[in-house]
Amino acid sequence: MKSSPMSRPFYYLWTTQTAANAADVLYIMALTVLVLNQTNSLVSAALMPLMRSFAQMISGLIAPLLINRFRLPSLLLLSQSGQFLLFIVLAVYLQLQGSDASFILVFALVFVMSFLDGWTVPTRNALVPRLVPTEQSLLKANGLISVSDQVVQFAGWGLSGIVVAMLGPSPTLLVTAVIYGLAAAFTLGVKEPAEYNDSAARATAANSGMSDPTANTTIGSSKTSDTAGSSRWHTLTEGWKTIWRMPRLRLLTFMDIIDMLGGSVWVGAFTLAFVQTALGQGEEWWGFINAAYFAGTVSGGLLVLVLVRTIGDRFLSAMLIGMAGYGLLTAVYAVNTEPYIALILVLLMGPFAELSIVNRRTLIQRSVGKLMLPKVLSAQASLLHLVFCISLLGMAGLAEWFGIVNLYLLAAVLTMVAFIVGVLGRRSFRTPAEQDTAAN
Q: How far is CA 83 from CA 181, 197, 296, in A?
A: 9, 25, 31
Residue 314: predicted pLDDT: 86
How long, in residues, is the chain?
440
pLDDT at 214 over 50: no
Q: Measured between alpha carbons, how far is 360 from 365 in angstroms, rounded to an integer?
A: 9
Which of 82-91, 198-207, 278-287 shows the lowest per-residue confidence on average (mean pLDDT)?
A: 198-207
- Say which range, 14-18, 205-209, 239-243, 267-271, has the weakest mean pLDDT: 205-209
156-204 pLDDT, tens per residue?
666 666 777 677 777 777 888 888 889 889 999 888 876 655 543 443 3
Summarised one tens digit per residue, pLDDT across range 42-82 is: 556 656 777 888 888 888 888 888 887 888 888 899 988 99
Q: State mean pLDDT over 406-421.
A: 93
H-assigned helices in 168-217: 169-187, 199-208
Q: What is the pLDDT at residue 439? A: 31
Would you state the pLDDT for residue 329?
95
Over residues 205-225, mean pLDDT = 40
Mean pLDDT value across the chain? 79
| Amino acid 298: pLDDT | 84
Q: Is pLDDT at 89 greater than 60 in this prediction?
A: yes
pLDDT(224) > 60: no
Mean pLDDT of 292-301: 84
Q: How far apart are CA 268 and CA 433, in angstroms?
A: 47
Tens digits of per-residue pLDDT, 225-251? 444 445 777 777 888 888 999 989 999
pLDDT of 438 reads: 32
Q: What is the pLDDT of residue 335?
A: 93
Mean per-residue pLDDT, 265-287: 80
State the burial class of residue 44 (Cβ atoms within 10 Å of its Cβ: 0-12, 13-18, 19+).
middle
Residue 41: predicted pLDDT: 60
Please determine, for residue 331, whether its predicted confidence score (pLDDT) is greater than 90.
yes
Task: State residue 40's pLDDT score.
Answer: 65
pLDDT of amino acid 200: 34
Q: What percent of the chain has pLDDT over 90?
A: 15
What mean pLDDT do residues 385-409 have? Answer: 83
Please say if the pLDDT value at position 414 is more than 90. Answer: yes
How many H-runs (helices) and E-runs (strands) does the chain carry?
18, 0
The pLDDT, as a whole number, for residue 382 is: 85
DSSP designation for 197: S
Q: pLDDT digit string (tens) for 363-394?
A: 998 888 877 888 898 888 888 888 888 887 78
Please determine, for residue 323, whether its predicted confidence score (pLDDT) is greater than 80.
yes
> Which residues fall within 8 angstroms of residue 237, CB to CB, at 6 or more apart?
none
Residue 157 to residue 29: CA distance in whole angstroms: 8
Q: Please enumerate in sequence order all residues whose Cβ is within 8 A of that of 80, keeping only pairs 6 or more positions apart, or say none.
A: 16, 20, 120, 180, 183, 184, 187
Work out the average pLDDT over 128-141. 81
Longest dimension (CA), the chain: 75
Q: Per-residue pLDDT tens for 14-30? A: 999 888 888 888 887 77
As a whole number, mean pLDDT of residues 285-314 equals 83
**pLDDT exceeds cutoff 80 at 406:** yes
> Sign of torsion, CA 199 200 205 206?
positive
Our measurement of the distance from residue 394's CA atom to the centroid of its chain's CA atoms, rounded to an integer in Å, reads: 21
pLDDT in tens, 348-369: 998 999 899 889 988 998 888 8
Q: Does residue 104 have a pLDDT over 80?
A: yes
